[in-house]
Structure 1
Amino acid sequence: MIVGAVTLFAILPAYEIWIHKKGRDTYLPLHLFKNIRFQSAAWNTGIAAGVYYGFSIVFPQIVSIIYYGRGEISEYDIGTLAGLAPMSFVFAQMCHGPIVWFTGPKWAMIGSAVVGVACLTACAADIDNRQLTMGLLIVGCYAMGIVESVSITTSTFPLRSQEEIGQGGGLSGSTRNFVSAISLAIYTATLNNRLNQTVPAQINSVALGLGLPASSLDALAAAVRGSASYDAVAGLTPAIQEAIQEPFRIAFRDAAKTVFFVSLAFSGSALILSFFTTENDESTADYVAAGMHGKSEEKAYHDEKVADTGSK
């Protein structure tokens, strides 16, 4: 990630400036890096997508460990509930057009970002309450999906010329991939780092109280997290294995809360950037940057193809 960041935001601009001073055409127009409206939309594509990728990985673990682990849902419900985050994003992509038609892109993004910030952060309030958490998650992911969809479709609106749409769209896509990769790494690292703290705090005293040797605690922590086998834990008995399941569920719940709090850094940034989003310019609604051919040329081409097919 460090290499990618240095390449994209240091080496590339420096190379572009050097090429420009040489009097040669730059790979990317330099004004793209100064265009705040373009940059805000480009960064929002990655920030909002990061919420999608992050919760598509974290929330399925919450479903399987917390809700299925205490018998709230059946094994047949795991797949459906685990897909709530991506399904909400996809539904938002289907619906964002009519929303933008009524509100315009700027206020669609601002309003959706406000809802997303509030709901996704509030998911940390009571994760044990499945209905509450799912309701907040669905609404929050749907709102951030609107932000992502609108930012993708509007990222090229502020370009000086639509002839640069390929270059602008390419830079926007690269920014999206870069930011979403960072956010996914942050969500995963946050969860793992917190589990390193919460798991020993919850299960060690229980396991030791039931006679597990202190030398086996690290192996037990790895086994309960699924990164090792219970068979590798010396001195483990069925009673100990059963007794630590509820403490581990609590430990995972406490770790997952932090992930929801960390989402505020991304959804909050998306809200700030939304205020710089451009509105639709109605004066250019009928503007065509480049015409390939007119109706007469199209008809002539079609007639020629028909004639060639008939002769063959």
Structure 2
Amino acid sequence: TRPCPTGGEGLSGRSAPQGLTRRDSFRVVAAAAALAPPAVAFAAETREPRAWVAPSRLVVLDWGLVQTVLALGRVPVGVPAPGWYDRYAVTPRLQAGVTDVGLLFAPNFELIQELAPDAILATPALAPALPLLSRIAPTEPFAVFQPSRELLARSQRETARLADFLGVPAAAAQLSLAHDEAMLRARARLASYDGRPIYLASPIDDRYVTVHTANGLFDAILTALGLVNAWKTASPIGFAPVPLAQLTEAGARVLLLRTPLLADPGARLARSVFWQALRFVREGRIRVVEQVLNNGGLPSATRFATLLADALTAPDGAL
């Protein structure tokens, strides 16, 4: 049974490090929520890997980092909300027995202390918490997902830096090669695609979707495969909520991305009179893409490229 993610007793009842109280933890969580920079500013600090023995007990405080660490062949001892990681990231699967250390922006400091990690991996979004986390174990920020027009190249560089930190540099080269090969296969499968622009949208309800824009992971894959995003307005974080009625480009296809909260978008949307009145619905220009972590690293990028090729080589049709 995984420990409660939100606090409570530690694994053995030992106290937190000197000066690190539960009240400290709550203050840091509040500070992280208030002061964390927007995603577009999540630039990882460039530094050489520390000259130390590669850590073996890792606490990893971001799902994109978790999937990358797993893809590099390492298994964390603690991650936030592991059940939700499995739903959102899908792959690589997280092994049973990994301890739940709280929520993404509200880690349980006492529980992390009880796990006695050799290193803690976080993202720059948790910058306000890094000094307190560093009292528990050496703490390093990584940004395997960083919204920008150069998202994929930056993700590959940061993955290599992470692999160096973990003492597995060859694993990063293998992961990048697997990604590049998946992109080549997807591009070959899409050679006969008719070139129609594509909306990438995650349904919110029967009137609104999250549309994926320039600076995001899904748009980066679309562009790398030579495809055109029908949504022309960029968002600094790579996505934005918009009314369905704004998906109006003539002839464009609409790719609906499943989410853990709306795993079957067709069942809900098919009951909506508003949805049925939309032109792209009436003309059957809809396809569905399986769940992908939209702020993941190379594993998410590789998965999305394959699923995108699957969707665009399938017949058009209603949900």
| TM-score class, shorter | under 0.3
Higher helix share: 1
Query: Per residue, is there more strand in 1 or in 2?
Result: 2
Higher RCO (CA 8 Å, separation ≥ 6 residues):
1
TM-score scaled to structure 2, two decimals?
0.24
Q: Under a length normalisation based on structure 1, what TM-score does the superposition of the two structures give?
A: 0.25
